[in-house]
Amino acid sequence: MEKRILWFFVVALLAVDILLLVQRRESRTRFRDLQRASATALLKTGYAAEEEALLTGTSAVPPAFPRAAAAREEDDAVQFVLLASVDNCTNCIEDEVTKLNEFMAGGGRRVSGIQGFFVDEQRSQMAKTFIEHLSPAPVFPMSVRNALLQLPGATTPLVLVIRSRDGKILDAHKPIPEDLTKRDAFYARWAAALGMS
């Protein structure tokens, strides 16, 4: 009888230990998920502030900023500019290249040009190698040039929509790793505005 009670007690203790281990693992998982969600929320908040500052504070790119000229002065054509770095999320850059390739193919006369710049002039060979290995490959010109210097407060990665005739920044988009919702909304908005949809 004592052996049975002892055996029952040992099994009960093991069951409690297993239950506590499972709860601890679930707690860690929930904590990690909360950390990820908090980090993403902070990133989104910071990116939204940066986009807003570019649209309201900068308003237009400086004359030295590389941009495509409009066919006619009264033309409302826009230029898309991707600013990236070798330090950025590769998937984010490739997602943007995919969408910009679609705009290059279907933008018509309302898209005066699309350009990409890797801002890593001090690591130009690394940036060139990065560009060569992008998948899909960009169908628009990409070069190594620190165009970011002319946009105080801006960080990479960044996509700008610039009105070609006067350099006014019409929109800015900061890609968020593993969140394509914002990206899709940005490109859907511009596809509709340009009559592509």
User: Mind giving me the DSSP string for 92-158?
Assistant: HHHHHHHHHHHHHHH-GGGEEEEEEEE--GGGHHHHHHHHHT-SSPPSS-EEE--GGGGSTT--SSE
User: For residue range 18-40, what is the model confidence (pLDDT) as tens digits?
Assistant: 877 778 888 777 777 777 766 66
- 171 - beta bridge partners? 161
User: For residue range 96-147, what is the model confidence (pLDDT) as tens digits?
Assistant: 999 999 988 887 778 888 999 999 989 989 999 989 999 899 999 999 998 8
Bigger pLDDT: 75 or 180? 180
Q: 17 falls in which pLDDT band (50, 70, 90)? A: confident
Whether residue 85 is predicted with pLDDT greater than 90 in this model: the reply is: yes
Taking CA atoms, 141 is separated from 25, 66, 130, in Å, by 49, 12, 14
Per-residue pLDDT, 21 = 79
Superfamily for the 59-193 domain = Glutaredoxin (3.40.30.10)
* Spatial contact of 153 and 46, defined as CB atoms under 8 Å apart: no
Per-residue pLDDT, 72 = 56
> Containing H/E element for 181?
helix 180-193
Whether residue 80 is predicted with pLDDT greater than 90 in this model: the reply is: yes
Whether residue 50 is predicted with pLDDT greater than 60 in this model: the reply is: yes
Sheet holding 111-118, edge to edge: 142-144, 111-118, 78-84, 158-163, 169-173
Q: 69 falls in which pLDDT band (50, 70, 90)? A: low
Question: Distance between CA 149 and CA 77 in Å, rounded?
Answer: 25
